Amino acid sequence: MSELRVRPKNEDVTDRPDPEIARVAAPPVTPHKPPPRRHGRAVLGAGALLLLVGGLGTGAWRHHQAELAVAATAQQSRTLVPNVRVAAVRASDSKITVTLPATTTAFEAANIFARTSGYIEKRYVDIGDRVKTGALLVEITAPELDHQITQAKATLAQNQATLQQTQASRELADVTNTRDSRLVKQGWLTLQQGDNDRLTLQAQQAAVGVAQSNIAAQEAQIRVLEQEKAYQRVIAPFDGVITQRNIDNGSLVTAGSTFMFTLMHPDVIRTQVFVPQDEAFGLGPGVDAVIRVPEIPNRTFPGKVTRIASALQPGSRTLLTEIDVPNPDGALSPGIYCTVELYIPRKTPSMIVPADAVVFDRNGLHVAVVENGIAHLQKITIARDFGTEVEVHDGVKPDDQVILNPMINLMDGSKVAVRNPQAS
């Protein structure tokens, strides 16, 4: 029989469960941490606030220091006097040296054509032969020309005989008119007979004039034929060298159209060069020149300008110039490419400025000229570029001190200090 337990009156069933029942029915209780305290959160907030305030203070301090540095740099830039290197501007030489390409030509050159028709009977010269004035070059044979001369002379003889006959008729008419004119005055002959005698004399006088004119024309024709006969012997018009030959023995030639030889006079070489407009002023006869040939590097050929054209070429704006170069040993030949150095007197003044001093920016070309420690920007106009130096026409004058490699921020009126050349 089971034992009953009496529960006290003041004991609540719900408040005091049975331990055995609790061990059987209730799940195990997991222990847990107590919630954090409120004063820990306050400490963390205060630390974050201190860090934020410190960061803002550091940033403000750094910004202030940066502003101070910028102000100091600006002040230093305003008060800084940079050291600069300078070079003196010098005046250009009194002569311009111009080098231009050119071509050599013979002082005299002639293309020799046949002046009479016929066949080449004998050729005496060939390419490269030197000939003297009047030397026989070739002989042309033309038998029909001899026949024409014989015919013309025979015709001349006929005209001369006709003239003699006409002169005799004139003399007879003159005698008759003289005799009959007295008889007409005495009344022994009629006036008609007197007129006939007088007019017959005039006709005979005119016939004599015609015969004389025929003789003169025939003599002129004979001279033409004889000149053609003389042209059968082709001679050299001047001293020179045969540079071309186009005929040989037995060749048929036609008067005025058959090219036979080219003769050139090479003892003096004529060089033609086209000088640009900006260098042509000051150029004239007598200007010194030097000819150089690439294939003869160790020799120069001096010469002088002998003639210039009076006008520039419209298309190229160049001036045709000829230079005579003595060539006694024949070292130069016509048709050679060469270079010509001309020493032209300068007509317009110009200055030489180092290329390192030239600045090109939005304001154009200019240089910085130092005067009493102040830099002045001067605009210039470049005439020619020599690489390390440039030639300018305006903006500077001789002995001006220009700054080499000027700073980008150099302004007009800036103070500068010229660096000691020995220290530089």
User: What CATH number does the domain containing 413 carry?
Assistant: 2.40.420
pLDDT, tens digit, for every residue of 197-255?
A: 889 889 989 999 999 999 999 999 999 999 989 999 999 999 999 999 999 999 999 99
CATH number at residue 214: 1.10.287
pTM for the whole thing? Answer: 0.55
**337 and 355 housed in the same domain:** no
Output the pLDDT for position 413. Answer: 83
Output the pLDDT for position 373. Answer: 84
**328 and 358 housed in the same domain:** no
**157 and 187 housed in the same domain:** yes
Average pLDDT over residues 318-344: 90
**363 and 410 housed in the same domain:** yes
Output the pLDDT for position 80. Answer: 65
CA distance 423 to 416: 16
Average pLDDT over residues 54-74: 79
**226 and 151 housed in the same domain:** yes
Q: Tokens 């003869």: give the residue.
A: 296
Cβ neighbourhood burial of 407 (10 Å; 0-12, 13-18, 19+): middle
Output the pLDDT for position 22. Answer: 43
pLDDT, tens digit, for every residue of 43-63?
A: 777 777 777 787 887 888 888
Let me know if residue 35 belongs to a domain: no
Let me know if residue 75 belongs to a domain: no
Average pLDDT over residues 63-71: 80
Let me know if residue 198 belongs to a domain: yes
pLDDT band at 65 (very low <50, low <70, confident <90, very high): confident
pLDDT, tens digit, for every residue of 355-386?
A: 988 888 887 888 989 988 888 888 888 887 88
pLDDT band at 31 (very low <50, low <70, confident <90, very high): low
Output the pLDDT for position 195. Answer: 84
Let me know if residue 224 belongs to a domain: yes
Among 284, 315, 345, give the residue marking a domain's end.
Answer: 345
Q: How far is residue 90 CA from its own chain's centroid?
A: 28
Q: If you average pLDDT over each of 7-21, 45-59, 65-79, which comes out highest?
A: 45-59
Flag whether pLDDT at 189 surpasses 60.
yes
Domain count, the chain: 3
**353 and 341 housed in the same domain:** no
Let me know if residue 109 belongs to a domain: no
**338 and 282 housed in the same domain:** yes
Output the pLDDT for position 4. Answer: 40
Cβ-contact 393, 378 below 8 angstroms: no
CA distance 95 to 345: 4
CA distance 178 to 194: 9
- Please name which of 407, 421, 424 lies closest in space to residue 82, comparing C-alpha atoms: 407
Output the pLDDT for position 28. Answer: 52
**364 and 414 housed in the same domain:** yes
- Please name which of 332, 313, 329, 331 lies closest in space to residue 321, comparing C-alpha atoms: 313
Let me know if residue 42 belongs to a domain: no
Output the pLDDT for position 25. Answer: 47
**339 and 359 housed in the same domain:** no
Chain mean pLDDT for the chain: 83
Cβ-contact 353, 367 below 8 angstroms: yes
Q: Which domain holds residue 381?
A: 349-418
Q: What is the side-by-side strand order in the sheet with 382-385?
A: 90-91, 351-354, 389-392, 382-385
- Tell me which of 110 and 79 has the higher pLDDT: 110
Let me know if residue 256 belongs to a domain: no
Q: Tokens 């024309």: give the residue.
A: 217
CA distance 324 to 273: 11
CATH number at residue 270: 2.40.30.170
CA distance 84 to 407: 9
Let me know if residue 308 belongs to a domain: yes
**159 and 192 housed in the same domain:** yes
**341 and 392 housed in the same domain:** no
pLDDT, tens digit, for every residue of 386-423?
A: 888 888 888 888 888 898 988 888 888 888 888 755 43
pLDDT band at 282 (very low <50, low <70, confident <90, very high): confident
Flag whether pLDDT at 318 surpasses 60.
yes
**277 and 217 housed in the same domain:** no
Output the pLDDT for position 262. Answer: 94
